[in-house]
Amino acid sequence: LVDFGAAIDADAQHFRYGERAKLLTKLKRYNEALDDLRRAITLRDAEESEEKGDRKPPFKVGDEVRYIGAGDYEGRMGLIYLQLDDNERALAEFVKASVRGREAAIYIWHAAKVLEKMGRYDEAADEWKRAEVALTEEITVFGDRPDLFARRAEFYSEWGKDEASLADYNEALRLSSDDSCILAGRGGLLYKLGRHDAALCDLSAALREDPSNSVALAHRINVFTDLGQYDEAISDIDRALFSKEFDPESLLAAKGLRLGYLGRYREACDQFEQIGLDNLAIAYHHAVAKARSEGWDAARSEIESVRSRLAPLRDGADRAWGLYFSAGLYAVAENVERSE
């Protein structure tokens, strides 16, 4: 950040504000990132209005003329507003980005998802269709690029068109068979389709190509878990704990659950205790693991404490979850009648 500040002080160009905004976003300093993106947009628009001789040439997608790099800052502002749960502003920025940017298809796609989130389903349906057209036109304009087929594959998966998604992933891997990101994408889709063995093959290949591929690692943890290969899942969780791409508390919780599946309840308790028991779900799993490892009498007070914390859930909007967790506690206490 200091170096970016010095570079901006020396020569305040829009791309420097844009690059600093990326770092600020990564640090979750969202308001500062938004300020830098607004400055970047002001400087970029001023440059475009001057019609500089070194301005990058336009290209056409369908009937629309776009300038390379245009729209990116607005799109990134939209993504930040999503993090801030400001759907209206996110949508406004995605619309701006979609009409002028090189990445227009992506931002039409984001707009579709935001509209769905806002309950505006008819408008969302139109945007999904527009995004499909834009993604297909990009492939037509730029040729057989594996990244574009992979992008459309991800889009189809989110739209619920899994067979179309798989076809695009297959084409992307035909063009680039050892691309770790594409292998991870197809592996995730195969996992979603319940094709665990094929998914495991792709995800392991992705990690051989790039051991730091966090998407492949996350999917493989789930695949190993579904296959009942809990030791392998725990090994991958331990590997993920060395990566900055994961939330450590989520990983510790996942490890605790899988240790429980193996009957290693004391070790599971250790994982939950590292997180802390303020979170009700973690407190619940810790109480269950403690009862399994030390017996009902040793865990009695903790289970009663969790049960009292569940009372508002049992009587509120989340009644189903409250009853589910409460049933689990009665099952641990071997009170079969109450559990049922």
| Lowest mean pLDDT across 119-123, 263-267, 307-311 | 307-311
Q: Is the pLDDT of residue 101 over 90?
A: no
- Backbone phi and psi for residue 243, each to the nearest 5 degrees, phi listed first: -100, 145
The pTM score is: 0.81
User: Which band of pLDDT confidence, cut at 50, 70 and 90, is reported for residue 262?
Assistant: very high
% of residues, the chain, pLDDT over 90:
69
User: Which band of pLDDT confidence, cut at 50, 70 and 90, is reported for residue 324?
Assistant: confident
Label residues 5-35 b or e (16+ Cβ within 10 Å = b).
eeebeeeeebebbbbbbeebbeeeebeebbe
Entry field: residues in the chain:
340
Q: Tokens representing 288?
A: 């269950």
Q: pLDDT by residue (tens digit) across 235-253?
A: 999 999 999 889 999 999 9
Torsion of CA 128, 130, 135, 139, to 10 degrees: 150
pLDDT (mean) for 204-208? 98
User: Which band of pLDDT confidence, cut at 50, 70 and 90, is reported for residue 230?
Assistant: very high
Q: pLDDT by residue (tens digit) across 128-176?
A: 999 999 999 989 988 889 999 999 999 999 999 999 999 999 999 999 9
Q: Is the pLDDT of residue 306 over 60?
A: yes
- The whole-chain average pLDDT of the chain stands at 89
Q: Which residue has the tokens 């798989």?
A: 166
Q: Is the pLDDT of residue 127 over 70?
A: yes
Q: Is the pLDDT of residue 61 over 60?
A: no
User: Which band of pLDDT confidence, cut at 50, 70 and 90, is reported for residue 57?
Assistant: very low
For residue 337, what pLDDT is reported?
Answer: 57
Collect all residues with Cβ–Cβ distance below 8 Å to 25 and sequence separation of at least 6: 33, 76, 79, 80
For residue 340, what pLDDT is reported?
Answer: 57
**Burial group, residue 231, by CB count within 10 angstroms (0-12, 13-18, 19+):** exposed
Q: Is the pLDDT of residue 69 over 80?
A: no
Q: Are 333 and 288 in contact (CB under 8 A)?
A: no
User: Which band of pLDDT confidence, cut at 50, 70 and 90, is reported for residue 65?
Assistant: very low
Q: Which residue has the tokens 């507003």?
A: 81
For residue 66, what pLDDT is reported?
Answer: 47
Q: Is the pLDDT of residue 333 over 70?
A: no
Q: Is the pLDDT of residue 338 over 70?
A: no
For residue 331, what pLDDT is reported?
Answer: 74
- Backbone phi and psi for residue 91, each to the nearest 5 degrees, phi listed first: -60, -45
For residue 58, what pLDDT is reported?
Answer: 47
User: Which band of pLDDT confidence, cut at 50, 70 and 90, is reported for residue 67?
Assistant: very low
User: Which band of pLDDT confidence, cut at 50, 70 and 90, is reported for residue 335?
Assistant: low
For the ranges 27-36, 66-75, 103-112, the maximum mean pLDDT occurs at: 27-36
Q: Is the pLDDT of residue 311 over 70?
A: yes
Q: Which CB contacts under 8 angstroms, 24+ apart, belong to 319-326?
A: 325/284
pLDDT (mean) for 51-62? 48
Label residues 244-263 b or e (16+ Cβ within 10 Å = b).
eebeeeebbbbbbbbbbeee
- Backbone phi and psi for residue 144, each to the nearest 5 degrees, phi listed first: -80, 75
Q: Is the pLDDT of residue 315 over 80?
A: no
Give the integer Cα–Cα distance in Å for 63 and 288: 61
Give the integer Cα–Cα distance in Å for 163 and 1: 44
Half-sphere exposure of 3 (CA within 13 A, CB side): 2
For residue 327, what pLDDT is reported?
Answer: 78
